[in-house]
Amino acid sequence: MDAPCPGEVPDARDSGLAYASRVLLNPTEDDRLRIFTAAQLARATLDRGLALNAPEAVALLCDEMHLAARAGVSWQQVLDAGTAVAAATPVLDGVADLVPEIRLEVLLDEGTRLVVLREPFGPGGPRVRFGEGDVPLVPDRERRTITVTNTGERPIRISSHFPFWDANPNLAFDRSAARGFRLDLPAGDSLRWAPGETREVTLVALGGTRDA
């Protein structure tokens, strides 16, 4: 085989080496790489003595929690790692308003777990400014009240417009009565059930095709 010219890449077929044309990542691996890249930018920003903006701060906390999980620590230690980094990280004014909560799935020895940091950078200002008087939400739609219990070992949160009859199977309730209904909450709001908690909730009929 002839030697390649300076700067020339040898043909894999000639050298007997196999080269991958590209790295194939699944969605979880792609997200992890994006977080790491943004976190490295955050670290470079801190090295210059500058405070972080919201995307940089969130990426740094998520990366540190991923690294803690990779080291084999417990769920609580991952949470503590994120809390410690948040307390020690200078952020720009307004970041606390923009980041009321961080939710991250990490891979632990027992499997994938959700880690939630609430108000990681301190309490922000009011996120909703209300006008005078009450605004009725879809007042002409049917409403039902049902009792819902979390039979699982982890907290469960359901958002306002999720088809409630398809909610987490660890929530015990009359699913046939809930078909075609959602939680009677403003858009973007949610309800949380702690393990073993029972709540009486009001459901409101969905618009359009209720069984979709």
Phi first, then psi: give them for residue 78, nearest 5 degrees.
-65, -45
pLDDT at 136: 81
Bridge partners, 148 (sequence order): 199
Domain with CATH 3.30.280.10 in the chain: 27-118
Superfamily of segment(s) 27-118:
Urease, gamma-like subunit (3.30.280.10)
Q: Which residue intervals of the chain bear CATH 2.10.150.10?
A: 143-205
- Look at 166 and 132; give whichever has higher pLDDT: 166
Q: How many CB atoms lie within 10 A of CB 89?
A: 19
pTM of the model: 0.54
- 85 CB-near residues (< 8 Å, 6+ apart): 60, 61, 64
The CATH code for residues 143-205 is: 2.10.150.10
**pLDDT higher than 70, residue 210:** no
**Range of 14-23, 123-132, 157-166 with top mean pLDDT:** 157-166
